Structure 1
Amino acid sequence: MNQNHLTTLLAVLDEGSFEGAADALRITPSAVSQRIKALESDMGRVLIRRTSPVAATDAGEILAQAARRMALLQAETDVALERSISRVPLSVAINADSLATWFQSVFSDVAKWKHATLQLRIEDEAHSLTLLRRGDCLGAVTTEATPVSGCDVRELGTMRYRPVATPALKDAFTSDEGIDWADMPVLRYGPNDAIQESDWRGRLPERPRERRVSQIPSSEAFLEAVRCGLGWAYVADLQSDPLLETGELVLLDSTHVDVPLYWQHWRLQSAMLQDLTQSVVDAAKQHLS
């Protein structure tokens, strides 16, 4: 396989278009198209779906994952040979709550590695394996203990979530009969927020037609929205504990949700990947139960 063709394939997938890949590679869109056609001819199958944005076919995903593995090894080789322009791309899929809390300990480690660059993709922990299977990242924080083909898995620990709200919000929707879960405004992170969604189904037999639901797709902003009284929500203990101690937030009941986390990464003989794995595991041991 031609290395330039593989590099072009990754650029097209990363940029989402042939034109974007041309800009990134500093070549013409025509040259990008010719390289992709040549690669598809060599493979004997279509690798790119010409949609907007473009997408990899099943064969394209397999080839892209192999290309990213080769790119990581090439980057490490360049570093070993002291080619100063080389950078080792460490691409990781991670959920927003982990990124906002325990994973930040990894930053100080990577900062000490002279040639490493960290590229994070925020994705719900239940969906991050999709990026790993496609080869879009070399490691992922996930809730899945069964390793993806070609990957190893390490147990990290558990994040506990509990229902919290401001004291004023709780009082406003509490009567002698208890909390009015149907009318009290609620928050959710996004459409894939499994914790909030499953809790609704457990508390309410039918979803109210006009329930006040605010969607806040940022972990830090989500916590701030809870603190301001925009709604109640399940929040990770790592984020809510300080506010519970000050009384800015209160627990709504004794329920909790424990989310087990795992680190899945490519099975690859890479010193940098081994260092990253150790850093992630150490950070999780320090902060997770």
Structure 2
Amino acid sequence: MMEISPEQARTLAAILTYGSFDAAAAHLSVTPSAISQRVRALEAAVGRPVLTRARPPGLTESGEAVVRFARQLDLLAADLIEELQPEQPRGGTRLTLVINSDSLHTWALAGLAPASDNVQLEILREDQEHSLDLLRAGTAAAAITATAKPVPGCSSSKLGIMRYFPVCAPDFTRRWFGTGVSAATLAAAPVVVFDRKDDLQDRWLRRFSRAALQPPRHYVPAAQEFGDAIRWGMGWGMMPEIEIGEDLATGRLETLSPNADVDVTLYWQQWRRGSAALTDVADAVRAAARVLR
């Protein structure tokens, strides 16, 4: 029977967190030799490597599972301390979440605020298509993601749909789409893109034109500033329906084409072996997600 000690698991997590055997040894107040011995014993127990020998060290698939185990042990230990010492103030549990920028900007914080009295949150901003890498590696306990299939060791539940529309300022429409929105005008008109992982604009372009267009691009990697760039006429871009209602009503923004939406289904993925704190946060996020479609 495979036996992995908490000490070995936490040692591997420390190597990942601090970037080297020496740094992990300093954090754990042991020698680098002791760190090496624990890793060798862990790999012997697992029967395969848990680290890639690189600078900084990376995790194999088996190593990712062990680090998730270590993080879950820490959550369970925090739950136990709160149960054994109910008179002590709550809020010592730390949770790392991965949330895409648009959700963070529009609805997710409203859900997390009620849970923040009882947990310390570290929120990592990552595109919904790429957030699972952090969850898989054990860096985060939960993620808002566009992927329904759960990563190993995690559960997945649907939150709702974020609907995006291609919008621009009226003056931008007059400058670039005076002859109408077509493949030719879209190929020439500048587009605002969040970052190089953001494919929403290209997704809509392919749907509209049936061709791979390459218009001029402005990259603006912050949710508020992304919207402001579009409002100021730097380009057109895909913005969430729940953010632009007032802009459309007042005429500050207009859509490029009727019924031109792109839907992104969001899911909440979290460790299956959770904790009371993680359950509270998950419940709060699901409640806030009711604003989605």
Q: Is TM more than 0.5 here?
A: yes
Pick from 59, 75, 79 the counterpart of residue 76 of structure 1: 79
Letter of the 1:222 counterpart: F
Q: 2:232 aligns with which of 218, 223, 228?
A: 228
**What is the aligned partner in structure 2 of residue 237 from structure 1?**
241
- Superposition pairs for residues 244-259 of structure 1, below 5 Å? 244-254=248-258, 255-259=260-264
1:219 equivalent in structure 2: 223
Post-superposition offset of 1:128: 2.1
Evaluate the alpha carbon distance shift between residue 260 and residue 178 of structure 1 in structure 2; reply closer, same or farther with a 3 A threshold: closer
Normalized against structure 2, the TM-score is what?
Answer: 0.86
Counterpart mapping for 1:43-192 below 5 A:
43-82=46-85, 87-113=92-118, 116-178=119-181, 180-192=185-197
Pairwise CA distance, 1:55: 0.9
Query: Percent identity at matched positions?
Result: 36
Q: Which residue is 1:21 aligned to?
A: 24
Q: Structure 1 length as normaliser, TM-score? A: 0.87
Q: Where does the alignment leave 5 or more consecutive residues of structure 1 unmatched?
A: none
| Shift of residue 151, structure 1, vs aligned partner | 2.8
Question: Do the aligned partners of 1:166 and 1:226 also contact (CA within 8 Å) in 2?
Answer: yes
Structure 1 residue 248: Cα displacement: 2.3
Q: What amino acid is aligned across from residue 238 of structure 1 in structure 2?
A: I
1:260 maps to which residue? 265
Query: Aligned-pair distance for 1:194?
Result: 2.6
- 2:213 is aligned with 1:207: yes
Deviation, 1:96, is 0.9
Q: Secondary structure at the match of 1:191?
A: coil
Q: Is the contact between residue 98 and residue 125 of structure 2 (CA under 8 Å) also seen in structure 1?
A: yes
SS at match of 1:182: helix
Q: CA deviation at 1:202?
A: 3.0
Task: Give me the whole-angstrom Cα distance separating, in 2, the residues matched to 1:20 and 1:165.
Answer: 49
Q: Quickly say closer, same or farther: Cα 1:2–1:182, change in 2 above 3 A.
A: same
Aligned partners of 1:78 and 1:86 also within 8 Å: no
Distance 2:26 2:170 in 1: 53
Change (3 A) 1:50 1:85: farther
1:150-192 Cα distance to aligned partner (Å, 9 max, x none)? 3333221111100111111111012334451111100112222
Count matched residues.
Answer: 284
Higher alpha-carbon deviation: 161-170 or 19-28: 19-28
Change (3 A) 1:27 1:119: farther
Provide the C-alpha distance between the structure 1 equivalents of 2:128 and 2:262, rounded to a whole number of angstroms.
Answer: 14
Task: State the secondary structure of the residue aligned to 1:46.
Answer: coil
Q: Name whichever of 266-275 and 221-230 sits farther off.
A: 266-275
Q: Residues 255-274 of structure 1, C-alpha deviation per residue, up to 9 Å, x if partnerless?
A: 00111112122223522222
- In structure 2, relative to structure 1, the CA distance for the partners of 1:242 and 1:87 (3 Å cut) is same
Structure 1 Cα separation of the partners of residues 132 and 32 of structure 2: 31
Change in 2 beyond 3 A, CA 1:58/1:154: closer
Please state how far the C-alpha of 1:25 moved relative to its aligned partner: 4.3
CA contact (8 A) 2:112 2:281 kept: no
Query: Alignment RMSD, CA only?
Result: 2.5
Gaps of 5+ in 2: none
Label 1:269 to 1:19 Cα distance change in 2 as closer, same or farther (>3 A): closer
